[in-house]
A and B are shown apart, each in its own frame.
Chain A
């Protein structure tokens, strides 16, 4: 069965600092990978998706993620954090004929002034 692990339930950075949110997946089939962001009292919003076209994926709001098959990782980064990036971030994986997306437990990002 597919599993997604997000390392760190809470990450705190200073404004302007690098953001790194970690995600590892387990899959016996080529994965489809997604990052979502959830702001308070809102639904999950798609940040970016990996579908095998390119290993480095650029998303909205300056975020990007790199697919590393050897490490089964899909970490999310942003060079410079902004206060408005404070939210919860979810990594999700699908693959093969499985319609389900498996979600990680989420990482709460705090941005300090």
Chain B
């Protein structure tokens, strides 16, 4: 079975540019999560969707970050404008619901110069 698919795997761009990260969750999963991982802060939950609806975006660092889930098989995380401090690995994860294991993609390594 296909796991969570993220693209691109690596992104290098200059400060001020728009960055779009993409995620395809596992088919049938109704919960989707975006995380950010850094050495300093570890794994941080950015936003949670349930049945394509954003439920909790309290982890989104600021208005420069936005996320959408137009359908059950696709989600995007956008940063506009990007800043060097946004450099991190961004993970998408999906699950079957409450207290179920989350299945992670391989992440997008983002570098903002």
In the bound complex, residues from chain A placing their C-beta under 8 Å from that of B25 are none
By Cβ-Cβ distance, the 4 closest A-B pairs, closest first, are: A43-B104, A32-B99, A44-B104, A94-B99
User: Is B70 among interface residues, defined by CB-CB distance under 8 A?
Assistant: no
Q: How many A-B residue pairs have CB under 8 A?
A: 48
Per a CB cutoff under 8 Å, which of A34, A43, A95, A106 touches B101?
A: A34
User: Is B15 among interface residues, defined by CB-CB distance under 8 A?
Assistant: no
User: Is B4 among interface residues, defined by CB-CB distance under 8 A?
Assistant: yes
Decide if A43 touches B4 in the complex (CB within 8 Å).
Answer: yes
User: Is A45 among interface residues, defined by CB-CB distance under 8 A?
Assistant: yes
Main secondary structure of the interface of B (DSSP, over half): strand
Chain A residues within 8 Å of B, Cβ to Cβ: 32, 34, 36, 41-46, 49, 51, 90, 94-95, 97-101, 103, 105-106
In the bound complex, residues from chain A placing their C-beta under 8 Å from that of B105 are 43
Interchain CA distance A95-B91 in the complex, whole Å: 22
Per a CB cutoff under 8 Å, which of B43, B50, B98, B104 touches A94?
A: B98
Do A99 and B91 contact each other (CB < 8 Å), given the known contacts A90-B43, A94-B98?
A: no
Interchain CA distance A99-B30 in the complex, whole Å: 12
Decide if B103 touches A46 in the complex (CB within 8 Å).
Answer: yes
Interchain CA distance A43-B91 in the complex, whole Å: 7
Q: Besides A34-B101, A44-B91, A100-B45, 6 other CB < 8 A contacts? A: A43-B4, A94-B99, A98-B98, A99-B31, A99-B98, A105-B42
Per a CB cutoff under 8 Å, which of B48, B99, B106 touches A43?
A: B106
User: Is B102 among interface residues, defined by CB-CB distance under 8 A?
Assistant: yes
Interchain CA distance A34-B104 in the complex, whole Å: 13
Least CB distance, A100 to chain B, in whole angstroms: 6
In the bound complex, residues from chain B placing their C-beta under 8 Å from that of A49 are 101
In the bound complex, residues from chain A placing their C-beta under 8 Å from that of B109 are 41
